[in-house]
Amino acid sequence: MKYPVNEVFQTIQGEGVHSGVPSLFVRLQGCPVGCSWCDTKHTWDVLKEDEVDTHVIISKRLDSPQYTQLTGSELIALFQKQNFKASHVVITGGEPCMYDLSELTDTLIEAGYSIQIETSGTYEVLVNDRVWVTVSPKVAMKGGMEVLRAAMQRADEIKHPVARESDIENLDALLAESELDASDVFICLQPISQKARATKLCMDTCIERNWRLSVQTHKYLGIA
């Protein structure tokens, strides 16, 4: 199976439980969720005219909707050709769970990589059982998609974007609807756009509930 790959790069994971881990990011094209604050809106549409050769993706320096189609084995060959050293792969988007990722994650795990998926929770999560699933639930977005109970229950980590108190209330409702106890999963609160008010709200809530703070360290460091 081939997957529409918008971008592949090596960096340090800046968010959530794996913050600080050297990582290979694989960004897939396509997302119907419609988050207003999204910083990768160029990945939303999958148009045939944007499909390009793999060498264009590797040399890409600016955000664009261009993508290439790769199998898991072709992706590993690309890692090797680029001489990437990280062994942790983060599959993100877009919304990666638009696609059945079973074959891709099986192939990467068989090759010795650890895998993390970042998803909005609006699609069924079809991955190898050993994949670390990060659900960043998107509630009442423009696309009108529902966060699935099954996706929440598959999560190893819930990384929740927060701007105001109502975002905390939405998370509480999702946890209750999904019959998830906060002790069963890592919960990371992530302030939207590093705003001081949102950061304080996240810090206060994390201290009160013994949750974790995710501060998007890559943005403070000015790296990808």
Mean pLDDT, residues 85-99: 97
143 is in an annotated binding site: no
137 is in an annotated binding site: yes
pLDDT of residue 4: 98
> Which residues, in sequence order, are CB contacts of 200 under 8 Å at separation 6+?
none
Whether 147 shows a pLDDT value over 60: the answer reads yes
222 burial type by CB count under 10 A (0-12 exposed, 13-18 middle, 19+ buried): exposed
38 is in an annotated binding site: yes
pLDDT of residue 193: 72
106 falls in which pLDDT band (50, 70, 90)? very high
Whether 222 shows a pLDDT value over 70: the answer reads no
pLDDT of residue 31: 96
40 is in an annotated binding site: yes
62 falls in which pLDDT band (50, 70, 90)? very high
88-92 and 114-119 as β-strands: parallel, antiparallel, unpaired?
Answer: parallel
Whole-angstrom distance, CA of residue 121 vs CA of residue 168: 17
Query: Mind listing the pLDDT tens digit for each residue in 167-192?
Result: 999 999 999 999 988 788 999 999 98
Q: What would the two tokens of residue 136 be?
A: 């960043």
In degrees, to the nearest 5, what angle opens at C-alpha 135 toward C-alphas 144 and 35? 35
115 is in an annotated binding site: no
92 is in an annotated binding site: yes
Mean pLDDT, residues 125-144: 90
pLDDT of residue 223: 58
Whether 220 shows a pLDDT value over 60: the answer reads no
pLDDT-wise least confident of 74-78, 88-92, 139-143, 202-206: 139-143
Whether 105 shows a pLDDT value over 70: the answer reads yes
43 is in an annotated binding site: no
pLDDT of residue 217: 61
Query: Mind listing the pLDDT tens digit for each residue in 22-34?
Result: 999 999 999 999 8
What is the topology classification, in CATH, of domain 3-159?
A: TIM Barrel (3.20.20)
122 is in an annotated binding site: no
Whether 215 shows a pLDDT value over 90: the answer reads no
Instruction: Give the predicted TM-score (pTM) of the model.
Output: 0.92
35 is in an annotated binding site: yes
pLDDT-wise least confident of 110-114, 148-152, 194-198, 200-204: 194-198
Mean pLDDT, residues 208-221: 78
In single-letter form, the type of residue at position 218 comes to H
136 is in an annotated binding site: yes
